């Protein structure tokens, strides 16, 4: 089978964050970890091309996946595989999206990532096999990936024994028993102590442990963040009003308040009339500055981070949170005020 393998800019050898904005492209043959993967796949399968895209570009241009799949089909691809992306959020999102796009185009597809990768929720029922947490587990991850790819290429279904993770696409099939018989059997199973038995597994939502209280807020560096669609007037970053795929950051240096006409909300989930009349209702810069002057907080961070919460997927929201946390930790922030709508 002719296979196209997707990797991000880092594993393609193009660079790290400095190359994250690189657009999609196809290269002949296997690249990076694809070389080892090609050897593991054996002579029956060939990686005819490697699809590449920068993580930032893939996160902010949802059409990249369909474009790469179309190019892959032009190269004669009969299957598309993506990863392993380990726990890398943007990379995982890209792998899930290109695998989903391949499935929609009628091609067998497989992605590889860690179960904690926020991209897992974007797989849309496409097959995903578990990888290690980091590239240190590359060898074992590639071996599991190759075995799963060979099984899918043979037309077989992946199971949890193969390392399959994530949602499974629902398909129609003939049941051995009618609904009444299955309901009674499930009830008896529950009465016998199996409280988790079900025909339809429910979503598994995260439970986040709250951070410990700040020792001394009067000495803390505090940041303002918001999901209220708060942007400079004119929305120069083109932040989406719903189903956001990105977040923005802008300087607050020298500003004591969020002036009408200087900032606005592009949130599509409520009427922004009153928010735009006084943007401090979305990002309370005026009160935060008062607290700073009074010594109630140590100092206000020099920029805010923002996105739009309206209709944003859990996977994207989780990715935003991970990226915000990394940014804020790097800036030595001790406390965050998150305003929500």
Contacts of 28 (CB under 8 A, 6+ apart): 48, 49, 50
User: ∠ at Cα 63 (60, 68), nearest 5°?
Assistant: 115
Contacts of 288 (CB under 8 A, 6+ apart): 222, 224, 297, 300, 337
Rg over alpha carbons for the chain, rounded to the nearest Å, is 24
Beta-carbon count within 10 A of 263 CB: 23
- To the nearest 10 degrees (0 to 180), the angle between helices 138-153 and 33-41 is 50
The pLDDT assigned to 36 comes to 97
Closest by Cα among 245, 243, 151, 167 to 201: 167
For 300, the enclosing helix (H) or strand (E) is strand 299-300
Chain segment 109-148, per-residue pLDDT in tens: 999 999 888 888 788 778 999 999 899 999 999 999 999 9
Closest by Cα among 172, 148, 173 to 161: 148
Helices (H), 162-313: 179-191, 273-277, 285-294
User: ∠ at Cα 330 (227, 136), nearest 5°?
Assistant: 105
**2-165 CATH:** 3.40.50
Maximum separation of any 2 CA atoms in the chain, in Å? 72
pTM for the predicted model, two decimal places? 0.61
Chain segment 42-94, per-residue pLDDT in tens: 999 999 999 999 998 998 888 999 999 999 999 999 999 999 999 888 899 89
Q: Provide CATH 3.40.50 ranges for the chain.
A: 2-165
Q: Rounded CA gap, 286 and 282, in Å?
A: 11
Q: What is the DSSP string of 111-175?
A: EEE-TT-GGGGGSTT--EEE--SSGGGHHHHHHHHHHHHHHHHTTPPP-GGGTEES---------
Chain segment 320-329, per-residue pLDDT in tens: 998 999 999 9
Q: Which two tokens stand for residue 72?
A: 């892959």
| Buried b or exposed e, range 285-301, using 16+ CB within 10 angstroms | bbebbebeeeeebbebb
- SS3 at position 81: strand
Q: Which two tokens stand for residue 119?
A: 């991209």
- Percentage above 90 pLDDT, the chain: 76
Chain segment 92-103, per-residue pLDDT in tens: 989 999 999 999
Label residue 180 by pLDDT band (50, 70, 90).
Answer: very high
Across 39-53, 185-199, 297-311, least confident range: 185-199
């Amino acid at each position: 089978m002719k296979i196209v393998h997707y990797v991000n800019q880092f594993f393609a050898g193009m660079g790290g964050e400095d190359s994250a904005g690189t657009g999609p492209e196809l290269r002949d043959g296997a690249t990076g970890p694809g070389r080892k993967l090609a050897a593991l796949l054996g002579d029956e399968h060939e990686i005819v091309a490697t699809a590449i895209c920068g993580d930032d570009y893939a996160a902010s241009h949802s059409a990249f996946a369909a474009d790469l799949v179309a190019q892959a089909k032009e190269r004669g691809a009969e299957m598309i595989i993506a990863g392993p992306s380990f726990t890398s959020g943007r990379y995982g999102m890209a792998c899930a999206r290109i695998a989903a796009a391949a499935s929609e185009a009628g091609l067998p597809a497989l992605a590889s990532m860690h179960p904690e990768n926020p991209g897992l929720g974007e797989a849309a029922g496409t097959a995903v096999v578990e990888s290690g947490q980091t590239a240190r587990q590359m060898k074992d991850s590639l071996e599991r990936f190759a075995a799963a790819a060979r099984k899918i290429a043979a037309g077989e279904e992946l199971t949890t024994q193969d390392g399959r993770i994530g949602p499974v696409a629902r398909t129609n099939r003939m049941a051995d028993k009618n609904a009444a018989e299955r309901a009674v059997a499930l009830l008896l199973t529950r009465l016998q102590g199996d409280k988790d038995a079900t025909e339809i597994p429910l979503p598994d939502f995260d439970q986040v442990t709250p951070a410990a209280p700040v020792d001394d807020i009067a000495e803390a560096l505090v940041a303002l963040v918001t999901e209220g669609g708060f942007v400079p007037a004119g929305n120069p970053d083109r932040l989406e009003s719903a189903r956001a795929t990105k977040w923005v950051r802008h300087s607050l240096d020298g500003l004591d308040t969020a002036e009408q006409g200087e900032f606005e909300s592009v949130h599509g989930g409520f009427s922004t009339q009153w928010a735009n009349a006084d943007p401090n209702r979305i990002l309370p810069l005026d009160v935060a500055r008062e607290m700073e002057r009074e010594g109630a907080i140590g100092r206000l961070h020099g920029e805010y981070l923002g996105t739009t919460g309206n209709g944003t997927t859990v996977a994207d929201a989780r990715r935003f949170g991970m990226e915000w946390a990394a940014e804020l930790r790097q800036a030595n922030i001790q406390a965050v005020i998150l305003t929500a709508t």
